[in-house]
Amino acid sequence: MPSASFHFPRNFLWGTATSSHQVEGGNNNNNWSRWEEEGHTPHKSGQACNWWGEEWREDMDRAANAGQNAIRISLEWSRIQPSPYTWDQASLDRYRGMLQGAAARGLTPMVTLHHFTDPLWVTDQGAWENEATVSLFAAYVRRVVEALKEQCSLWCTINEPNVYAIEGYLRCTYPPGTYSLKNFVMVQANLLRAHASAYRIIHELQPEAQVGYALHFRPQQPAHPKFPPDVWMSQLKFSAINMAFPSGISTGVMRSPLGKIRIPEAKNTQDYLGLNYYNPDTVAFDLRVPGELFSRSFFPKGSDVSEAGTNANIPAGFFQSFKWINKTYPNLPVYVTENGIEDATDRIRPRYLAEHVRAMWRAINFCWPIRGYFHWTLVDNYEWERGWNQRFGLWELDVETQERRKRPSADLYEAICRENGLTSAMVEKYCPEAYSRLFPG
Ligand code: FCB
């Protein structure tokens, strides 16, 4: 067998990503806790991974002891500003403690300011359907950055604005769960205004900061590339799913299925792009599904899919995503802000991880400026509309006892982080079935 290794640039960030509502526990003042109370989810988040009960310390130990040098977390707006006129200093102090804890363990933090959850008082005034939320968010961002700028300089304004809008207003699996194409568009426009305003506020308070957002990016492949309806549908979906924020940030005009919206203040408001990549979709024209824009999305027959069939191991789509980024924004730094697969038994994860790391290495060899990688996620966390049914962790969580158990992928990821690269010996040990794809002799 040939032996080889794929090494990464010095100072590359290797970490894991998570979000407040998914790990903290005890959140009861946001749109998601209400959604859970109303019975829309198979389970409630409950104490989640008990980070608010100080378990973040052990989890950060876990990450640092496994060779990681970075961590992506988010802040819970509803804790920091529980009502329109109250700011909770104790929560800000707790977050400061967490960030100091990260630094003490050698973990560079990336902090997300909005990751799907809105305080209930914001929800009750229309959340992002209401343009007034933009200035409310701006006030929150100002508070946070004033309080935490000593501890963080890598900020992610908003996580997956496209998913927030798709799931909330088209697929109706996230709150508010009310179908509206108009709101799907308006909510993204307001999130983009909020992003632009956060970008400026952060730079005003902290000129050296790096500010971006996390885009859920899904390449769309036509099922039959020579059948024009499949091609058109895949282009339509590509644009509807991926392009709102990128178009607005490139030109100051946001593209949407309902036409263009001028948001001039959004132009050039990113110092990096955060890429959340899980897998691409294959798209086929189908008159039977008007609700899905007359097309079906699926994974091609024979794909390497997760047990529930919701994720697939398609590393070529990861490479394609980097290619698209570099074409759209030449020389813009990129952080992979999320990448991973749901896999309770760790059957696919080792090869998924190795093959995605290898695709990223290949992209770096084109001199595309990829600066870091955050795997989703460290420990199984609460997965929104799927509750505890999806397990994305390098560590398994027993939700009742809060015990963590390492999956083999955790050892593989540790080896990658320590080596700052992937070697053939690692592949031989953790996912020999992928050897010939990774190291063709
Ligand atoms: C992304 C979300 C993240 C997590 C992963 C699996 O869409 O940003 O919170 O749920 O999917």
Ligand 1: list residues with CB < 6 Å: 19, 159-160, 163, 216, 276, 338, 376, 383-384, 392
The structure tokens listed for 75 are 């802040």
CA of 382 to the centre of ligand 1 (A): 10
Contact 154, 148 (CB under 8 A): no
Q: Which residues contact 327 (CB under 8 A, 6 or more apart)?
A: none
**Exposure b/e, 213-222, CB count within 10 A at least 16 = b:** bbbbbbbbbb
pTM above 0.95, yes or no: yes
From 338, 377, 388, 391, the mutation candidate for ligand 1 (largest count of ligand atoms within 8 A of CB) is 338
From 276, 311, 382, the mutation candidate for ligand 1 (largest count of ligand atoms within 8 A of CB) is 276
Q: Which residues contact 112 (CB under 8 A, 6 or more apart)?
A: 19, 72, 73, 74, 75, 155, 156, 157, 158, 159, 214
Atom of ligand 1 nearest to the CA of 22: 9
Task: List the pLDDT tens digit at each of the 441 positions of the chain.
Answer: 667 899 999 999 999 999 999 999 999 999 999 999 999 999 999 999 999 999 999 999 999 999 999 999 999 999 999 999 999 999 999 999 999 999 999 999 999 999 999 999 999 999 999 999 999 999 999 999 999 999 999 999 999 999 999 999 999 999 999 999 999 999 999 999 999 999 999 999 999 999 999 999 999 999 999 999 999 999 999 999 999 999 999 999 999 999 999 999 999 999 999 999 999 999 999 999 876 778 999 999 999 999 999 999 999 999 999 999 999 999 999 999 999 999 999 999 999 999 999 999 999 999 999 999 999 999 999 999 999 999 999 999 999 999 999 999 999 999 999 999 999 999 999 999 999 999 987
Atom of ligand 1 nearest to the CA of 392: 6
